[in-house]
Amino acid sequence: MTYFHGGVPGLKVGDSILPPDKTGTDHTLSKYVTQLDGPAHARRTDIVYLTTQRQVAKAYAAFYPDGALYQVLPASPVDRDADCLTPDLSWHCPFAIVVAVVDPVVLFRTRTPERWLRMANGAQS
């Protein structure tokens, strides 16, 4: 299975994608879930989220300031994302390794916020 991750820019092939607990970043969806008093399993900052759909990862990259899109290899077995209602779309693991930089800069302004959100939810856009 091929996995993608959208987020912090500037990583290279071979770099690790680490969870927010390790990097200290506050650019996370978990931060917004916490602010909205969402469920505890959606607030996790000790894991890295992956998707099997390139467009979904691209949407998440767009929400990170000038984020990047990566193809990644999970560093351990993956678990299904309990928040995702679409089967086989979203996964998580302790960390992942960049195997390809698919798009080094994904600019939010190239689509409307609504289109990015549809992409993040797995809709083709």
**Residues 54-67 pLDDT 10s:** 998 998 888 887 89
For residue 81, the model assigns a pLDDT of: 86
Q: What is the Cα–Cα distance from 118 to 98, expressed in whole angstroms?
A: 25
Residues ≥6 apart with Cβ < 8 Å to 61: 6, 7, 67, 68, 69, 103, 106
Model confidence pLDDT, tens digit, residues 91-103:
999 999 999 999 9
For the cut 70, the answer to whether the pLDDT of residue 28 exceeds it is: no
For residue 84, the model assigns a pLDDT of: 78
